[in-house]
Amino acid sequence: MAAPAAPSPASAAPVIHAAPPLPSYIPPFGLRTIIGCLGMLLAVHVAGFNEHVTEIGLSDIRGAMHLGHDEGTWLTTIYEAFNIASMAFTPWFYMTFSIYRFSIFITAVMALLAIPAPFMPDMTALCVLRAFQGLAGGCLPPVLMTVMLKYLPAEIRVFGIGGYAMSATFGPNLGLPLEAFWFEHVGWHWLYWEIIPMAALAIGMLAYGLPRDPMHLERFAKFNWLGLLVGLPAICSLVIVLYQGDRLDWFRSPVITNLAIWGGAAFVVFLINESFHPSPYFKIHYWLSRNIQASLLSLVGILAICSLMAELPATYLAEVRGYRPIQMVPVSLVVALPQLVMLPLIAAICNSRRVDCRYVLAGGMLCLAAAAWCGTWLTPDWVRDNFYIIQILQVFGQPMTVIPTLMLATLALGPADGPFISGMVNMLKGLANAVAFALFAALTRRREQYHSTMLLDHHGTHGLALQGLGEPIGQQLAGTSPDAGHVARNALEVFHTFIHEQALVLGLADIYFILIWVCLFYAVLNVVLPRRVYPPRPPSATAPAH
């Protein structure tokens, strides 16, 4: 009998599974793709400027358009409600109409709606216009996340995550300088119109650089009508509760009570529908993953902390020191401009397989905790320069927290999961700002009231002991009027102004103290709960099959 033939070297070699080919419409990575990705990043920043600049300049807009304070708060609330709600549903639409067509169309709509904004005849018309602008602006961040994860090579995908993180760190801190520049040097109309030239540039870059992916209109056969009709008003209702709750005294207001009950019930129906629908807007079962739980919860907390950290010095400088936005510009630029260097640097560090991004995240939380600890020393004597050390610590803390959190949320999933996680991440990113606004309003009011009551109580208790010091306020005002009653009223008004300033400063210091413990909690949480993720790498051509 003949001996069996020896195996050939070719048959003995391990089988190599090649990486799945890219879709035919995606060109090789190069300058054109980079321009398209940068255009998408610019479009998202345009949407962010449209949001933050008009919010920061709301008092100037109200004065120019003859709007009251309560009316002005609804302008911000309506915009944010539709902005956040649209983020949850965007991935379905760009998968249907194509990223290329959808992003260009939405950017153009957002810019065109800015043209008539300063000329709206009444409050209702302006709110309707801002609602549509919010819908358009909220559609762009989920597209950016998908573009960065889909079109960038695996070895630089973490840098794409760093680019997306710019919308959470660089953009919001640049809103104040832009508002000061446009209002003080150009005109209040440009608080709306500033996005038009930047949007035109972004559209040109998108049209040139983004791959022409095909449309999939057949997806309408399984369109999730119930999810849209229930989810959109549910999310809008909950956002309105967060933005208007403190002003309307929460559940003592029928408006807040009805929105919370019916909006909450509709949101539960929305979640149940998403769990069973064959074409959901996002997948609820992602929350079963430890990494998703930790990263999404951390994303809400971290972005809320960053938002509060930006709001605290702005409130102090405006309310206590009387600063205009243009005088607060250096405080914001100290955080904003270094992000252009820090974000790529942190992305490069996290892109190394030797570095565990969980510990980078914990280090960033410690930086934010140190910034909050410095803020507890706040006094009425502080000026702009006293906040620089707090802002410098945030220069390191913000990118060190945001980039690892996004890595934990996105890199543990496959490419097919990108659209579903992008909608969830961006909706929670928007909710973080709403949560920060609600917390800041509630904490500031309650702590200020508490300290005001305590200060007045101490003054009344020790009033007799203080009589020997005389009345320094009255003595200084004595020469301003021969009417003793008029002087006494002015002295009482000055006294209450001092009480208000002291109570506000103590209240803001209390918020800084709370933030210390919140930062430490998230530092421990993200070391313990999530599993480690590694930066992506292209498949090796020599790796054996498993």
pLDDT digits (tens, 9 = 90+) for 282-319: 777 777 777 777 778 888 888 889 889 888 998 899 88
Q: Are 384 and 317 in contact, with CB atoms under 8 Å apart?
A: yes
What confidence score (pLDDT) does residue 163 get?
84
Q: What is the pLDDT of residues 96-139, one digit of tens each?
A: 898 889 999 999 999 999 899 888 888 888 888 989 998 998 88
What is the spatial distance between Cα 199 and Cα 388, in angstroms, rounded to a whole number? 33
State yes or no: pLDDT of 11 exceeds 80. Answer: no
Position 144, amino acid: L
Q: Are 526 and 362 in contact, with CB atoms under 8 Å apart?
A: yes
The count of structural domains within the chain is 1
What confidence score (pLDDT) does residue 109 get?
93
Residue 233 lies in a domain: yes
Q: What are phi and psi of 462, to 5 degrees?
A: -105, 20
Contacts of 290 (CB under 8 A, 6+ apart): 529, 530, 531
**What value, to the nearest 5°, has the Cα angle with vertex 274 and ends 269 and 280?**
145
Chain-centre distance of CA 340, in angstroms? 17
State yes or no: pLDDT of 183 exceeds 80. Answer: no
What confidence score (pLDDT) does residue 18 get?
46
What is the spatial distance between Cα 45 and Cα 103, in angstroms, rounded to a whole number? 13
Chain-centre distance of CA 203, in angstroms? 23
Domain of residue 118, residue span: 31-448+519-529
What is the spatial distance between Cα 61 and Cα 192, in angstroms, rounded to a whole number? 10
Count of alpha carbons within 13 angstroms of residue 331, beta-carbon side: 24
Whether the full predicted model's pTM is greater than 0.75, yes or no, is yes
Residue 510 lies in a domain: no
The CATH number that applies at residue 93 is 1.20.1250.20
Q: What is the pLDDT of residues 198-227, one digit of tens each?
A: 999 999 999 998 888 888 888 888 888 888
State yes or no: pLDDT of 482 exceeds 70. Answer: no
Q: Are 413 and 282 in contact, with CB atoms under 8 Å apart?
A: no
What is the spatial distance between Cα 471 and Cα 457, in angstroms, rounded to a whole number? 18
Residue 154 lies in a domain: yes
Residue 309 lies in a domain: yes
Confidence band, pLDDT 50/70/90 cuts, at residue 24: low
Residue 454 lies in a domain: no
Mean pLDDT of 33-61: 83
Q: How many residues does the chain have?
A: 546
What is the spatial distance between Cα 273 and Cα 347, in angstroms, rounded to a whole number? 37
Residue 513 lies in a domain: no
- Strand boundaries in 188-335, DSSP class E: none
Residue 487 lies in a domain: no
Residue 253 lies in a domain: yes
Chain-centre distance of CA 315, in angstroms? 18
